[in-house]
Every structure is written in C-alpha cells, then in structure tokens.
Amino acid sequence: MTVKANSLILICALLSACAGSTQMTTTWHDDAYKRKTFERILVVGVSEDQFRRRGFESAVVDALTGNRTEAISSIEIMDADTALTDASVDAAGDKIQADAVLVTRLTNTTVQAKEIDSRVDVQAQAKGGNIVDFFRYDYKDVENPGYLQAKISFVLSSNLYETAGGTLVYSIETVTSDKNTDYNSVVFDIVENTSVKIGQRLRRDGLAK
C-alpha cells in the first residue's frame, strides 16, 4: 500500500460542534475481491499533527468496533516520532496481526467567499415619559455593515487495504461543507460525521461488524 504524508486536518471532540453537512460522494470496491468481514482493522489518519491524528483515529475506532470487528488506532501502536510510510504502517499492522488497514487523508480543501451587502434598518424606540407619550415613538436608522460569508469544504479519502498482499479493496470519499467561519468547529464536524459515515458504510457492506 502507499501512504503519503498529506496533511489530514483533524481535531478531537473537545471542540464545540457546528451545523455543517457531510456527504459521501463516491465509493469504490474491487469487483473481483471476495468480500469478507475483517476482524482487526488498523486505523491510520495521515496528519503531521499528532493531537488531531489521535482524535480522528479514536473516532473511527469507536465507529468501527463491534461484535466481530476490533479497530485499533495506529498512534497507539507506533512511536510518536515514527513517520507514516509503507514500511512503518506494515510493521504496525503486523504487530497487532491486523487483517486490514484503513488509511484516511485530506485530498482537497476549497473556500468559497460571498460578499453580503450592507443594509439600513429602521428601529422604533418608545418615547417614554407620561401616558400621552405611550404610543409615540422615535425612529432611527440602524446601519448593518456588509460582511464576507465563507463556505469551507473538505474532501477526505478513506482507503481500505487487505494486509495479505496489500490489496486495495474499498474506497470512500466524503465531503464536509460548512458556512461557519470558526475553522476549529468545521474540523470538529469532519471528525464526528466522517467517522460515523465510514463506520456505517463498511458495516453496511459487511466489511466490519
């Protein structure tokens, strides 16, 4: 299998959530492969940030582990200063006797900006004072300045390899989009929603149970 050190933008679930959306855009599987349920899956999140890598891998482990399948985070097996390479991932898989390795990496990031025009609203304010002024109001213009609205999209690719022969047997691509300008909150959404969708899809197709 090939593991490249592309930066996977990940963060742990200590951050506050946002109202983003995650969609599974494409899946692929080897038609010639005789599908089976894997019992021990090594989970790898490709990231130079060890903290974010740990958070993502832990979320995927929780989503995959079931009655028949045990998922193990690679960061729990490998030393923190060990680079993610074919050899190091293979060694980690051999150490835990994994029959499959799931590798997830960030493949694309896009930011779309939309300018929202400024506007002027009219605000009414009661005069107060005595009873004859009860229904009398002063009116003033309130200017709401324009602003820039950003939409951030992340594309993540998850590849499942069978360790015997290093054969790629399954691929999943997910896209997370959010108009929230809080970058950390958007990243949190990736961890929560992507890990769940990966687990759901692999379980649905019988690769994990």
All structural domains of the chain, each given as residue ranges with its CATH number in brackets, are 21-115+151-204 (3.40.50)
Q: In the structure, what pLDDT confidence band is assigned to residue 141 with cuts at 50, 70 and 90?
A: low
68: left (phi over 0), alpha (psi -120 to 50) or beta: alpha
Total-model pTM: 0.71
| CA–CA distance, 7 with 4 (Å, rounded to integer) | 9
Q: Which helix (H) or strand (E) holds 198?
A: helix 195-204
Displacement of CA 151 from its chain's centroid (Å):
15
For the residues 169-189, what does the mean pLDDT come to? 72
> pLDDT tens, 42-85?
999 988 888 888 888 999 999 999 999 999 999 999 987 888 88
